[in-house]
A and B are shown apart, each in its own frame.
Chain A
Amino acid sequence: MKNNSRLPNLRNLGVALRILIIANLALILGAFMLSDSISSFMYQLTGISTFAQPILLLSLFLLYGGYHALSKLSYRHAIIAIFVLVALSAAAIHALFAQLWIFSEQPSLTRMVIYAWIISALALYYFNLHHRAYSPAVTEARLQALQARIRPHFLFNSLNAVLSLIRDQPKQAETALEDMADLFRVLMAENRELVPIAQEIALCRQYLALEKLRLDERLRVDWLIDNVPPDILIPPLLLQPLIENAVYHGIEPSASGGVITIQIYTKQNEVHLLLKNPCTTQAKHHNGNNMALKNIKERLTLHFDLEASLKSKQLGDTYEVHITLPSQQKTYA
């Protein structure tokens, strides 16, 4: 979902969370300015929060609902619209409290609106800065730099394996070279846009076919793909580097090999990718592994902000990587 306007994506969990944090920090700061002791600070904070939190939540709700319309406006108009929405929700809460509650000292509506506007301005200023720091150009450049790189070890070993086939099994050698061509086409591509998950899975299968050539029965793979729509969008080369790690750290150090389990499923609005491989406690060259994981984590953040996550852990002699990302499908707009 490319958003070219400078408006933050108000339907993004991370954006909503940041607004909440900024607003509450401002509230705490306000209460701190108005008080001279801890007890009066707590009193002020509760006082302010009683009004501010409902306004904040209502505004977030309105902004969520109005995001579609807002994103069609120019940035200037959108900001005016946001200020109007915030003022409206302040007025609504003020009216509600005046009706239901018998507040001896309800602050004036003007004060509440101005306060809400100050917080909105702070949040918008923050998002404007954030936008500049992570502008599409910058993001693009960072994605380029994070371009997944295959291990040279794999390239040369695969070439060696293909060479061994040429004389006796030319057909198999052909297939292997075709797989390699496809793999390197993706690896060297400049395009860092999201791709359908089916494409990534096909690529991983080709990669595994090449590894199978070298490792033969030592490499066993279990694909558990559970009713996943093939056009769900994921960052390219999300899975392949993880499988490469699993082969390098989990299969190659063992004489008898092992099983790599790749599980893909959707749950509510999320796609889950779960990868398991055996790990020998003795082989601890985790440096390369961490590099790949960090790389993927950063790419997920650039694409999905806080809505995606990558967790890895070691359970006995199994190593597990679990990726969660929002399920987005291709929109033909």
Chain B
Amino acid sequence: MLNPTNLNILIADDEAPARNRLRTLLGDIPNTQVLAEAKNGKELLEIFNQAPDSQAAANIVLLDIRMPEMDGIETAQHLQKLPQPPAIIFTTAYDNYAIQAFDISAVDYLLKPIRLERLQTALQKARVLLPSQLETLTPLSPKRTHLSINERGRILLVPISDIIYLRAELKYITVRTAEREYLIEESLSHLELEFSHIFTRLHRNCLAANAYILGYEKRHQDEHAEKQWVALLKHVPETISVSRRQQHLIRQTTL
């Protein structure tokens, strides 16, 4: 339970009137304070990143579900990467599926138009989301637009469209973009399932983005070994070997 005497609140909603309405209502509730507003999930995460101090201060986020760029559900998933995630109250005008999921997982939500009393009660009992609750919500936003990594208290967002390949290494997965590499803790097979339309499995431990595969070449990996097929990739010098099992992919592309 949060200290009800001082509630610092962030608002995320793509519609200006909806944000204004929330601000007006919060103005009527003592001991609350709106720290900032965001027009979508991405902007909200940026607010957390830009002022790492406000993160300790912002204890509640009022998060709209349907927003462009990044919806509320995905934003909530990324927010959990913070060392001290804020409590989340979802807001929605009408979304049968979401409401069902919220009720099942006992997540806090408010229906627009929001009533002052409902908002007050929600603020009083606002809690941080539990991992099990998040899991119930995942199907509402089945395909993330970004992967996120916590780096020194900040959330780094990696757009899915920037990722060249994903490679599993012991406990972690290396995420390669044109600029740099990131390490994330996820399962490669889950990622393969979630983004099956974007990545292709070239090897037991590697997924490559279809958009970045330039072509395939048969090469000597070292002096003694026999020639092997490798995939050439845009923007990065390294190649990815194609396992024997996946060589039908090469035939498909060359035909």
Contacts and interface: CB of A to CB of B under 8 A. Distances in A.
Looking at chain A's contact residues, is the secondary structure mostly helix, strand, loop, or mixed?
helix
Given A156-B93, A156-B94, A163 B21 contact: yes
A155 to B, nearest CB: 8
A160 B112 contact: yes
B17 A253 contact: no
Interface stretch (A77-85, A124-132, A209-217): A209-217
B68 A253 contact: yes
B24 interface: yes
A291 B183 CA distance: 44
Nearest to A176: B17
B2 to A, nearest CB: 26
Contact of B18 (A151, A160, A254): A160
Contacts of B112: 156-157, 159-160
A316 interface: no
B21 A157 contact: no
Interface in A139-168: 151-153, 155-157, 159-161, 163-165, 167-168
B210 interface: no
Nearest to B27: A167
A153 B95 CA distance: 7
Contacts of B68: 252-255
B18 A157 contact: yes
A156 B111 CA distance: 9
A152 B94 contact: yes
Given A164-B21, A216-B16, A255 B93 contact: no
A226 B17 CA distance: 35
B39 interface: yes
A167 B113 contact: no
Nearest to A214: B15
B94 A255 contact: no
B20 interface: yes
B148 interface: no
B169 interface: no
The interface size bin for chain A is 20 to 34
B17 A161 contact: yes
Interface in B232-250: none
Contacts of B93: 152-153, 156-157, 160
A164 B94 contact: no
Contacts of A168: 20
Contacts of B24: 164, 167
Interface in B86-114: 93-95, 111-114
B37 interface: no
B74 interface: no
B40 interface: yes
A162 to B, nearest CB: 8
A214 B17 contact: yes
B94 A161 contact: no
Residue of A161, A164, A167, A214 ringed by the most chain B CB atoms within 10 A: A164
Nearest to A217: B16
Contacts of B113: 156, 159-160, 163
Contact of B15 (A151, A159, A215): A215
A253 B68 CA distance: 5
B197 to A, nearest CB: 10
A274 B39 CA distance: 32
A163 B94 CA distance: 16
A214 B112 CA distance: 13
Contacts of B69: 255
B118 to A, nearest CB: 13
B94 A153 contact: yes
Given A156-B112, A160-B112, A253-B68, A213 B94 contact: no
Given A156-B94, A160-B112, A213 B17 contact: yes
Given A153-B95, A215-B15, 4 more contacts: A160-B21, A168-B20, A214-B17, A214-B18
19 contacts: A153-B93, A153-B94, A156-B94, A157-B15, A157-B93, A159-B112, A160-B17, A160-B93, A160-B112, A161-B17, A161-B21, A163-B113, A164-B20, A168-B20, A214-B16, A214-B18, A252-B66, A255-B40, A255-B69
Interface of B: 14-18, 20-21, 24, 39-40, 66, 68-69, 93-95, 111-114
Interface of A: 151-153, 155-157, 159-161, 163-165, 167-168, 213-216, 252-255
Nearest 10 pairs of A and B residues by beta carbon: A164-B21, A161-B17, A156-B93, A164-B17, A255-B68, A152-B94, A160-B113, A160-B112, A164-B20, A153-B94
